[in-house]
Amino acid sequence: MANRIKVTAAKRSAFLSALTVDANVTKAAAQTGISRQEWYRERGENPAFAAAWEEAVAIGVEALEDEARRRAIDGVEVPVFYQGEAVGAVRKYSDTLLIFLMKAHLPKKYADRQEITGVGGGPIQTEDLTELDDDERARRIAAILELAARSAKGS
């Protein structure tokens, strides 16, 4: 471990500052000249640094979200070329980024999955049907078939 670069207060500060930009550990490590593994070791051994790391990542993630919002809503200028020459620009927007933002901020409305609950938000009540005798099982099946027949007639 003779080649290991010492983590100093200045290096910690530079690493944390780089993390606030885009929450990218690899890039932050490269900017300090200290390996990712060494930074993860430092985080594991230093609770105060670990807390500062989490705060820096949270700030970096907010920056990423701000950039996603800008690209989704404000768009970006993309040059238009004709016969190899720039002749203008068009503004392009990202519907995909907008979808992700909506899912993040309104998950009940836009999430891919919906949670299903029982009455009053409680658990769904189930019954172990293997405990039923043959007569009760046949009665329940007949009732379900009757409901299905009535439903088919009504539609």
Question: pLDDT tens, 24-38?
Answer: 999 999 999 999 999
Q: Which residues contact 88 (CB under 8 A, 6 or more apart)?
A: 79, 80
Q: What is the pTM of this model?
A: 0.63
pLDDT tens sequence across 117-136: 888 888 888 888 888 899 99
* Residue carrying the six token digits 């594991």: 44
First-to-last CA distance in the chain?
A: 77
In sequence order, what DSSP letters do the residues of 14-39 get, joined into one string?
Answer: HHHHHHHHH--HHHHHHHHT--HHHH
Give me the residue spans of the domains in the chain. 9-70, 77-110
Reported as a single tens digit per residue, the pLDDT across 51-105 is 999 999 999 999 999 999 999 999 999 999 999 999 999 999 999 999 999 998 8
Mean pLDDT of 126-153: 90
List Cα–Cα distances, 40 to 10, 19, 43, in angstroms: 17, 13, 5
CA separation for the pair 109, 26 (Å, rounded)? 35
Percent of the chain with pLDDT over 90: 74
